[in-house]
A and B are shown apart, each in its own frame.
Chain A
Amino acid sequence: MDKSKSISPYQIFSVIFVTIVFSAMMYSNYTVNNLDLLMLAVSAIFAIVVLSVLSIPLFIFAKRSENENIIRIIQAKKPVLSSIFSLVYIVYFMYSALVSLLVFSLLLSNFINPGLPFFAFFLLTLSCCYYSAYKGIAAIGRAATIFSTLIMLSIIIICFSLVFRINLLNYSHIFIEQPSEIFDNTIYLVAYASSIPSMFFFVHKIKGKVKKTVLSSVIVSNLTISALSIISFGVLGEYIHTTPYPFYTATQLIELGAFQRLDVIFLALWTVGMFVNVSLSLCALRECVQNSIMAEKAKILNPVLVIVVGICAFISVRYEPIRYIVMNSKIMLVTFVVVTFIFPLIAVLAMGRRKISSRAARTATLTIAVLLCIPLLSGCQKTQIHDRMIIKGVGIDKYGEEYAVTVQYIDNYSDGSEQQNKCIQVKGKSIGDAMGKIKNSSGSEPFLGQNSAIIVGWETAKGDMEAILDYFIRYSDARPTVKLYVSETTAEDILTLKVSDSIIPIDHMTTISPSNSKNDNLFTILNFINQSKNSTDTPTATVIRVDQNTIKLSSVAAIGGEGEIYELDENDFITYKTLIGIDNGTVLSFDGLSGRVTKCSTNITAKDRNDTLDFDISCKLDITILENPDNLSESEIERIFSEELHNIADSSVKDMLNVKNYDVYSLGRHLKFSDSKKYNNTEFYTESLKNCNVNINIECKTVETTR
């Protein structure tokens, strides 16, 4: 039954939505000079306007064309010009497919590292996308409706999961960015929307209103990008500057129960988006070739052009200067404007009626079969899982100029039901050097994907912590939610601690700092880097020690850099826990009266009152009474706790700010949040902090135990 394929508006909506969202997810420091998710959110709004304007020729074209694409229309009046048009469009679609492949392959190789050779990846991807292009735009459109539904659901899950990890203080520098960053991000978003120009070849097959469909898809997709950017920025904060792919890093923080790595959802979305993007480009390329002067050779030309794309991608990956030119947003923008705005305007002026000739012969499917049969180029020789050392904890100590890395790992070959952990120590001139030696000494390749803790020795922590942690930030398997500890002695002492000849598994350390959403955020590399990158905060890390063959939580250390590290004393620690709002079951004891904190909430507001700077800190604690030897009343107990805590906190905060110059309570960030423009200057608010008034109000409330 011959039935010309017609594409519904929702299918086009889905195609444009998937491709624009994917292009935004490729936002990285390979595509944009300065990463700023907050500005990306603003740029997405501008991109709606720009894309809508640039799509005007498409709307006009859709109204006037009946059964013709842009090449055919010009061919009727200006054959020579149509040849030029077709060549330009062919090059453009090859270029857009190339860029999509490139960015995705860079993600794979530099960040995720599956061990797949580039050539195999390009062949596989191009084969799959070529198959899809061969099936036609209707098949791609229908598939896109399914993919877009999955993408929307996944984005909802991602947003919902990340919302609870947002730190409002990360939004402190909103509206103080340079306009150029908004401009660059807008160029990026517009230039990478390659689905719009491809519509010129399919618009005659679309049923319904093209204008409404395209506009709505542009608006929805950019608003989605905006929302994702805002949420991701709220979660990552300054950590964004350490990662090349901020969206991917944000999804690495999602955990749902036993499912720790939900970033695989994001990777699936990326792959699907890349697939649709490249398929659409190749499908438009086919249409272009079949309607051009080379229509007779289309059967051979199509696969040849696809192979050329693959070769160009392979070359671009290898040579950075070529890659830089290829992925330059400005060059992409120029080509985008030419094929989306200028050429179609010319075509609209040269509109004419012409019967469409019969389609060119079918493309060869044998190429696909041959390309798929290249297993030798696959990654099947990658190291098997049982040959890898599954590391559960890493300890770093520095002796002189050498780093000693102690690693606790799971013994895969242990018999019996109980999993045995083992330790190994290697030394190197750097962390990376030492980690590289692990394979030589143990025979297994280290695997940090399940690493749960990084412990730094006391003396080592006085050095450059960012440099120490840099390896674990950039390592492809590592996650930003890994817990960070500082040992009172050396990291080796903690990791090699034995009880009954068995090493204490590092997993048990999680019970030291009870796991909940607040604590999980606080004691991680993410939080540490966020604090250290922020010019106001003094980064903190949990201090642990060995006490009678057990590992105990000691306190928190303020790491000031330049050889400074200060372990908070008991009062400072209590103040820290209270002001930061840690729900850790802290036991407070005053004159025989003791209680356990079950819930803690803190609100810090900075107020600039002309000559003085005030911080209003209000804390509310729920306390369960443990011991009440004098049988005091509830109100009396609450008063005692409140007063004692207030006294402790008051002296501790002033001491920290004025004497020790440690801003462990992130007061500086609160100040910036209150007035970003005024307090953008670091020196200005550092001085302000020293002369500020801190008004602390603590309310304690006794509660019954729930069990």
Chain B
Amino acid sequence: MFNFIKKAKDFYRPPMSPKSNPPKVPIDKNLELNLERLQAIYHDSSDLTVKRMNLKLSDGTVEIAIITMEGMVDKEVLSTSVTNPISTYNDIAFSDSDIFKIVEKDIITNCDHMTVKYIGEVTTYIMSGFACVLIDGCENGLAVGVQGYSFRSVTEPDTEVLQRGSREGFVEPVRVNISMIRRRLRSTKLKFETMNIGDVSQTEICLCYLTDVVSDEILNEVKSRLENARLDTLFASGYLVSYLESGGDNTLFSGVGVTERPDTACAKMCEGKVVILVDGTPSALVVPHIMVENFQTLDDYSERPYFAAITRWLKYMSFVISILLPGLYVALAAFNPEFFPSQLLTRVATSISKTPFSVFSEVLLFTFIYEIMREAGLRLPKTLGHAVSIIGGLVIGDTAVNSGFIGAPTLMIVALTVICSYVIPDLYVSVAILRFMFIIFGGFWGLWGIFLLFCMLVVNICSKESYGVPFSSPIAPLSLFGLRDVFVRADWQTLSRRQVTVQDLIEE
């Protein structure tokens, strides 16, 4: 009877095809065969460049092929460290096995090189900007690091602006990001583990952690989840969030943190967390991630403790205002106006009486209009942004109120809510959803709807765990040690006595 439901489910979520593990094809001694295989793999792609050279020996020559991808290599470095040494080398003859060692140790002057044994590895390195050197008669090849692809320069990230922090943010190439982290955290315990994800894209990702601080359980779990990530392509770090999160990416709050700053990433690693860099994305994922971290910035640790406490409380209040204020306004105006102060009540009633919509409709509509404007502002070319802001400000703000389309209190409430939501940009997605939910609950069920939804929200936050760490910690379960840096920021002399790590939050 319920077969149709099962069929619909299968249509929406088809069963996963088994992971393909193509056999590893070793590099053949015959150079021509290897080149044919590579051409076949790349379907004679025009950006695959093959430079054939002859290595002169005393008793003949040995053919060498240097395979690169057009635009991915630094030609100057390539010629300095690979082609020129090969072309100028002239020595006595050696057996085939010795040729590879000589090429590896004496001819290639670049210190960044790896031995490759399989065609698959050759293709991976070529597409990472390496130059692969294949020698006729040798079973091994050399992948030489001569990357020279263009990438964006290091700039300050737009989303995490600090007053007193560094102005460097992550960039797209993972190798550059690794160097930025290494530069800041000069510890021998810092370890990087790379892996490729994406059957098609073979995107390189890098796990960064401190071996003496990280929890082995968490690390193993992260690796396991990444290895089981069945992706064809990985073009943004956000793809991985669904695999890294315990409940998928359908939860209201994310248990995976995101940062664009190397200094923030280093600070997280010092707390025993694992940072995941994804090639092609200028942001790093941090696991595990708890709720209170959304309210912490590096600026808090640079300022005075009392000022840091003020800004923290501003953020907490802004969060509460941004989710609760419109819904509360609707609930009070529609169901319990007796809770308004007397003067405010008369003004609200007067303004509502002059507009054609109910309070609920007004607030919902205006919030929706704002989201449209925000989305438009994100996609607009900068040249047009000016015009849109004028239209938004004047038309929406002024004309709509004067024409009686919406009331001034509604406009003020929504404006205040929106401003507050930008105080915590990390939570914007959650805040936007919650705001709508509270408006709907407040409009349909009044204060009781607001209170009950608030209770559900608290339960939702408390029920979530990120790699065994309760999402609501250190508030619930209560950890007095962890609370040093939640509502207020203890001074550095206190904080530096012992760092709060993930282990402290797991053990209740």
Q: Which residues of A contact B (CB under 8 A)?
A: 1, 3, 6, 8, 10-11, 108, 112, 114-116, 120-121, 124-125, 128, 131-132, 135-136, 138-143, 145-147, 207, 258-261, 264, 267-268, 271-272, 275-276, 279, 375, 378-380, 382, 384-386, 388, 390, 410, 412-414, 419, 447, 449-450, 452, 477, 507
Contact = CB atoms under 8 A, between A and B. Distances in A.
B463 A386 contact: no
Interface of B: 217-218, 221, 246, 333-342, 345-346, 348-350, 352-353, 358-360, 443-449, 451-453, 455-456, 458-463, 465, 467-468, 470, 472, 475-478, 508
Contacts of B453: 128
Contact of B338 (A131, A138, A259, A447): A447
Contact of B353 (A10, A116, A386): A386
A124 B446 CA distance: 11
A586 to B, nearest CB: 28
Contact of B458 (A3, A6, A125, A147): A147
Given A6-B508, A132-B456, A145 B478 contact: yes
Given A139-B463, A143-B458, A145-B476, 5 more contacts: A141-B476, A147-B458, A268-B451, A276-B455, A419-B346
A520 B449 CA distance: 34
A10 B477 contact: yes
Contacts of B445: 116, 120-121, 124, 378-379
Nearest to B339: A261
Nearest to A387: B353
B477 A3 contact: no
A142 B465 CA distance: 12
10 contacts: A10-B477, A115-B335, A141-B476, A143-B462, A275-B455, A379-B335, A380-B444, A382-B335, A413-B353, A449-B338
Given A261-B338, A385-B334, A412-B353, A390 B346 contact: yes
Interface-central residue, B221, B446, B465, by most chain A CB under 10 Å = B446
A378 B442 CA distance: 10
Nearest to A131: B456
Contacts of A258: 341
A449 B337 contact: yes
A154 B334 CA distance: 25
Contacts of B217: 1
Nearest 3 pairs of A and B residues by beta carbon: A449-B338, A139-B463, A142-B462
B345 A390 contact: yes
A378 B349 CA distance: 22
A333 B500 CA distance: 48
Contacts, number: 171
A145 B455 contact: no
Contact of A124 (B340, B449, B465): B449
B508 A388 contact: no
A412 B350 contact: yes
Contacts of A413: 350, 353
Contacts of B346: 390, 410, 412, 419
Nearest to A380: B444
B461 to A, nearest CB: 8
Given A125-B452, A275-B455, A384-B352, A267 B508 contact: no
B468 A138 contact: no
Contacts of B342: 260, 450, 452, 507
Contacts of B462: 135, 138-143, 146
B459 A143 contact: yes
A260 B337 contact: no
B14 to A, nearest CB: 21
Contact of B478 (A6, A10, A116, A268): A10
A341 to B, nearest CB: 30
B448 A108 contact: yes
Contacts of B218: 1
B182 to A, nearest CB: 29
Given A260-B341, A384-B358, A1 B246 contact: yes
Contacts of A11: 476-477
A386 B448 contact: no
A590 B444 CA distance: 65
B221 A1 contact: yes
B225 to A, nearest CB: 9
Contacts of B246: 1
Contact of A146 (B335, B449, B476): B476
Contacts of B475: 145-146
Contacts of B477: 8, 10-11, 142, 145
B472 A142 contact: yes
Nearest to B222: A1
Contact of A388 (B337, B458, B465, B476): B337
A108 B449 CA distance: 13
A378 B444 contact: yes
A385 B446 contact: no
Given A131-B456, A260-B342, A450-B342, A114 B337 contact: no
Contacts of B478: 8, 10, 145
A3 B338 contact: no
Contacts of B353: 386, 412-413
Nearest to A10: B478
Interface-central residue, B217, B246, B339, by most chain A CB under 10 Å = B339
A503 to B, nearest CB: 15
A358 to B, nearest CB: 19
B476 A385 contact: no
Contact of A140 (B333, B338, B348, B459): B459
A379 B360 CA distance: 12
A128 B456 contact: yes
